[in-house]
Amino acid sequence: MVNNKKLLAWVEEVATLTKPKEIQWVDGSLEENQKLLDLMVEAGSATKLNETEKPGCYLFRSHPSDVARVEGRTYIASKKQEDAGATNNWIDSLEIKETMTKLYNGCMEGRTMYVIPFSMGPIGAPISKIGVEISDSPYVVINMRIMTRMGKVVLDQLSEDSDFIPCLHSIGSPLREGEKDVAWPCAPIESKYITHFPEERMIWSYGSGYGGNALLGKKCLALRIASAQAKDEGWMAEHMLILALTNPEGKTYYVAAAFPSACGKTNLAMMQPTIPGWSVKCVGDDIAWMRIGDDGRLYAVNPEAGFFGVAPGTSMDSNPNAMKAIQKNTIYTNVLLKDNNDVWWEEMGEDAPSHGIDWEGNEWTPASDKKGAHPNARFTAPASQCSVIDENWENPAGVPISAILFGGRRPSTIPLVNEALNWNHGVFMGSATGSETTAANIGAVGVIRRDPFAMLPFCGYNMGDYFNHWINMGEKLGDKAPKIFFVNWFRKDNSGKFIWPGFGENSRVLKYVTERIEGKNLGEETAIGILPKLGDIDVNGLGLSEATVEDLFAIDKEGWLAEITSIEEFYAKIGDRLPARLQAELDKLKDRLTDNGSCGCCGCGK
């Protein structure tokens, strides 16, 4: 029996506005899930995959206009524009409510309205947050069942007066009397809106059924709304994977790492180290909620319960543990369907089938000039199916973080690994993160953009205030603060080939990180940070020449000066809420690089 007053009133209010043909309270059971899947297969929007090869797996094809997050249609609605800041699309709360209320009017006609109670974080954990998503998409229901803890178990947590985050979602495609449904109903791009109300802790999404636009627990709640809550409450909601790294002596270090979407977070989170005796376990692959524990250290929880990973590029080479985790009970979206009802995608490590159906539903052969899978094709799989999931992945207290990594796709200038001189220098590094854009967002691919802390599309408030929150957290953590490193697996040589092999070989860098944590006499202070000396990172067997290795850590002065100019431009955009201490870090870096009154050989800042 639902007795939460706010929920009952909200469900009634939404139903009155959106006029669904029926309302279904989702319980999260297996039977309910199967019923929805059967229904979608029958309606022609899902394909059941080969039961022997892929038991319990289904394929969906989205509309070609609805294949990724739409940052251009994603808004932060607040009373004052400066509270959203220069990096967000701001919209006046009252204005957008009026616009979207008109769109929501009757938008669920002919469809079922699902009420999906979910918990981000283990049920009942102190850091967890309860949300309720109302959606007219059964695809959203089955994805939310994998990505979150969902259904009756969550509803049972809500008492008469307890609070939750309302997340309203509609695909924006009413099914009027006599109209035939399509496989992937959605609204045209210009009427899609993904709107966040951080002041009211509320989300309204309209018009898209894909990924982060529609699975509202993920980027919308666990990052945009949670980041605003975290600032107010003194914790952190970050776009970070969490991994456990164990050395041959059996000591485990937990590492959190922020990379922009589709930069290999899932691969790193489940990586198979190539160096003997080391192992990696996964706590999470996309989001970390971190708070300061009783012992003063930073503890991280993965608020999600599943992986929503990029399929193309995922292979037994790049990520064997993900490949194994997605063999059953997995939802595939926008991959290629083989003639035996199994799936395939580019760079899967398996020869392309001689024939198949591509992500747009067309006949495909290797001679086709189009890709078989969309570059942002995804798998949705339960984290519990990952054979290297860490034993503490659902620990309500979280795991203690020893190091934080930032990174992005940078073809030049940025070294393989560079350690911050101190916390605020690390905050500076995070704030200046840049990366080549990827297919995870609709827009140009392959241009470098500043993506501070990999949070550019996910920070729910003014970026300058967010930077300041990081500085404040460092002050609270003091000498218990994790060490900060900037990594770049994506350096290219003159012919455009990646220099560093990446994937499992990244364990060599992680090993160096733990050795730095242990205070081993490695690395040296330079103008840009603490860089490994030649020999500090074991590159044996990689076939890299000494010159190439040197190149991975060389300080490209010209490149850095250009980098500084670009960071200055970005900081200017942030405006007057940019913390003075970050400007000071930028100035110090410039001085160190240009020898302006400094010794020029170290990071002493003199």
Q: Any idea which residues carry the catalytic annotation?
A: 263
CB of 64 to Mn ion, least distance (A): 22
Pick from ligand SAT, Mn ion, none: which does 435 bind, CB < 5 to 8 A by kind? none
Pick from ligand SAT, Mn ion, none: which does 308 bind, CB < 5 to 8 A by kind? ligand SAT
Show the site string, 142-181: x = touches Mn ion by CB under 5 A, - = not.
----------------------------------------
CB of 45 to ligand SAT, least distance (A): 19
Nearer to ligand SAT (CB atom), residue 144 or residue 236: 144
Contact residues toward ligand SAT (CB under 6 A) are: 69, 211-212, 218-219, 261, 308, 440
Joined together, the tokens standing for residue 525 give 């202070």
Show the site string, 209-248: x = touches Mn ion by CB under 5 A, - = not.
----------------------------------------
Nearer to Mn ion (CB atom), residue 261 or residue 376: 261
Nearer to ligand SAT (CB atom), residue 147 or residue 403: 147
Nearer to ligand SAT (CB atom), residue 138 or residue 457: 457
CB of 401 to Mn ion, least distance (A): 18
Pick from Mn ion, ligand SAT, none: which does 212 bind, CB < 5 to 8 A by kind? ligand SAT
Q: 3-state class of 169 per DSSP?
A: strand
CB of 263 to Mn ion, least distance (A): 9
DSSP code for 69: B
Nearer to ligand SAT (CB atom), residue 40 or residue 194: 194
Nearer to ligand SAT (CB atom), residue 88 or residue 261: 261
State which residue has the least CB distance to ligand SAT: 212
What does the alpha-carbon distance between residue 248 and residue 357 come to, in Å, rounded to a whole number? 46
CB of 281 to ligand SAT, least distance (A): 22
Which of these segments, 133-141, 168-176, 259-267, 361-369, binds Mn ion (CB under 5 A)? 259-267
CB of 575 to Mn ion, least distance (A): 26
Residue 91 CB partners (closer than 8 Å, separation 6+): 75, 76, 77, 195
Single-letter amino acid code for the residue at 249? E
CB of 104 to Mn ion, least distance (A): 27
Alpha helix (H) ranges present in 421-487? 423-431, 463-477
The sign of the CA dihedral 112, 115, 119, 120 is: positive
**Which of 228, 321, 290 has the alpha carbon at shortest distance from 474?**
290
Q: Judging by DSSP bridges, how do beta strands 298-301 and 399-407 pair with one another? A: antiparallel
Alpha helix (H) ranges present in 458-605? 463-477, 507-517, 546-553, 557-574, 580-594
Residues numbered 265-294 forming contacts with Mn ion, rule: CB under 5 A: 286
Site for Mn ion contains 261 (CB under 5 A)? yes
Nearer to Mn ion (CB atom), residue 231 or residue 378: 378
What does the alpha-carbon distance between residue 278 and residue 512 come to, in Å, rounded to a whole number? 12
Site for Mn ion contains 435 (CB under 5 A)? no
CB of 149 to ligand SAT, least distance (A): 17
Count the site residues for Mn ion by CB under 5 A.
2
Pick from Mn ion, ligand SAT, none: which does 69 bind, CB < 5 to 8 A by kind? ligand SAT
Largest Cα span, the chain: 78
What does the alpha-carbon distance between residue 27 and residue 141 come to, in Å, rounded to a whole number? 10
What does the alpha-carbon distance between residue 223 and residue 287 come to, in Å, rounded to a whole number? 8
Residues in the chain: 606
Pair 373, 311: CB distance under 8 Å: yes
Residue with tokens 């951080």: 198
Pair 131, 7: CB distance under 8 Å: no
Pick from ligand SAT, Mn ion, none: which does 218 bind, CB < 5 to 8 A by kind? ligand SAT
Nearest-5° angle of CA 480, CA 481, CA 484?
A: 145
Exposure pattern of 290-326 as b/e (b: 16+ CB <10 Å)? bbbeeeebbbbbbbbbbbbbbbbbbbeebbbbbbebb
Q: 3-state class of 104 per DSSP?
A: helix
Nearer to ligand SAT (CB atom), residue 299 or residue 453: 453
**Which of 526, 532, 531 has the alpha carbon at shortest distance from 592?**
526
Residue ranges in contact with Mn ion by CB under 5 A:
261, 286
